[in-house]
Amino acid sequence: MYRLKQKINNNSLPSSVINSFINADGAALKVAIFFLINNKGSFEDLSSELNLSDQAIKRSIQFWEDNGLLEIENEITEEKPNTYRLNHDDMSKAVLLNPEISILLQESQQILGRELPLSESRVLIEIYQTLLPSIYGILNLESFWSTRVPTKKVITETLYSSRTWNNLGIKEDSECEMQIKIMEKHDSYVKEVAKLMSVSPDDFNRRQKNIISSWLDNYSYDSSFIAEVLLRKPDATIPYINTVLKNWYKNGYKTISDTRQTPTNIIDNKTNDELSPLFEKLLKKKQG
SS3 129: helix
Q: What long-range pairs does 239-243 form, CB within 8 A, spacing at least 24?
A: 239/48, 239/49, 239/51, 239/277, 240/51, 240/266, 240/273, 241/215, 242/211, 242/215, 243/276, 243/277
pLDDT tens across 23-81, in order? 788 888 888 888 887 778 888 778 777 878 888 888 888 888 877 788 776 543 444 44
Last-in-domain residue among 112, 143, 171: 171
Q: Give the model's pLDDT for residue 88.
A: 64
Q: Give the model's pLDDT for residue 254.
A: 92
Residue 287: inside a domain = no
Which residues in the chain show pLDDT less than 50?
Answer: 75-84, 267-276, 286
- 274/191 same-domain check: yes
- 193/228 same-domain check: yes
- 166/187 same-domain check: no
- 216/250 same-domain check: yes
The total of structural domains in the chain comes to: 3
Last-in-domain residue among 121, 151, 171: 171
Measured between alpha carbons, how far is 215 from 225 in angstroms, rounded to an integer?
10
Report the Cα 220 to chain-centroid distance in Å: 20
Helix 43-50 / helix 54-66 crossing angle, nearest 10 deg: 120
Structural domain for 155, as ranges: 88-171
Amino acid at 262: T
Q: Give the model's pLDDT for residue 209.
A: 92
Q: Can you state the percent helix, strand and coil of the chain, rounding each to 5?
A: 70, 0, 30
Residue 21: inside a domain = yes
Last-in-domain residue among 171, 192, 225: 171
91 DSSP 8-state letter? H
- 193/166 same-domain check: no
Residue 178: inside a domain = no
Burial call 137-157: b when 16+ CB within 10 Å, e when fewer: bbbbbbbbbbeeeeeeebbbb
Q: Give the model's pLDDT for residue 190.
A: 96
- 193/269 same-domain check: yes
Q: Give the model's pLDDT for residue 222.
A: 95
Measured between alpha carbons, how far is 34 from 276 in angstroms, rounded to an integer?
11
- 220/247 same-domain check: yes
pLDDT tens across 214-227, in order? 999 999 999 999 99
- 95/122 same-domain check: yes
Q: Which residues contact 266 (CB under 8 A, 6 or more apart)?
A: 240, 243, 244, 247, 273, 276
Residue 96: inside a domain = yes
- 238/262 same-domain check: yes
- 115/163 same-domain check: yes
Find the length of the chain: 288
Measured between alpha carbons, how far is 170 from 160 in angstroms, rounded to an integer?
14
